[in-house]
Amino acid sequence: MTDGVHTVDGARQCQRLRSQSAALEGTLDRAFATKLKVIAVTRAVERMETVIDRAIGGHDPDNRIWGPLSASEFLIVVQDVTTWALSNFECFCARPEAENLPTGVRIVADFYFTIMPRHLPPFDSAFSVRTLRKTPEPGLRAAALWKAEALLAKQEAYTRVETVEPPARQWRLLKRRTPTGLYWLLQQMAAWPRRYTRHQWMDLNSILVLYR
């Protein structure tokens, strides 16, 4: 287009190609960013699976990431957190907390997670809590593991910004959750090592007091 760029038609064509190029570049940038987010989500679940497998084998988790816990203590914490995520603590039929993922996670990795075809029964029913063992759907299990990784690990779980300490991230993820579920989790935490909860967890009472 060198010869015709100074003509009216040439300038118009040049502008059209520039617009198309900018649109294509923007599409590629968004695709690349989405791919990185998908990788971050799947790796978070993989990290959780790996540390659980190691803990089952008797290896203590890295306390720089997971806090001061032995292998057996870590498994108890993970069981409690994933049970909270997989259970419906409402007094009416509703979906478990594991399906309530942050928008940035749900949108980019929707294919990876399972939406249950029906709501779980109310919390006061005969079978009120649901564990990983009672959850056959792989995508729902993955969602619960992602939730656990986001609440327990020291690294940021789903953004590319600097690390956010677990207590601050826990507040962000738990502040609007049902108080019945948070109270259940608080009761479970009473059996966790105190050195761990002091070091690695926010005070759930600071949220529960908002409902009183």
Q: What is the pLDDT of residues 86-113, one digit of tens each?
A: 999 999 999 999 999 988 888 888 888 8
Q: Domain limits of the chain?
A: 43-211
Alpha helices (runs of H) in 90-204, residue ranges in sequence order: 103-106, 138-152, 166-174, 179-189, 194-200
Q: What residues have CB less than 8 Å from 57, skipping those under 6 apart? A: 71
In terms of pLDDT, which residue wins out, 33 or 137?
137
Quick check: 19 pLDDT over 80? no
| Residue 42 backbone zone (phi > 0: left; psi -120 to 50: alpha; other: beta) | alpha
Quick check: 119 pLDDT over 50? yes
The model's confidence at residue 2, banded by pLDDT at 50, 70 and 90, is: low
What distance lies between CA 87 and its chain's CA centroid?
A: 16
Average pLDDT on 22-49 reads 75
pLDDT at 161: 46
Average pLDDT on 66-70 reads 96
Percent of the chain scoring above 70 in pLDDT: 83
Quick check: 39 pLDDT over 90? no
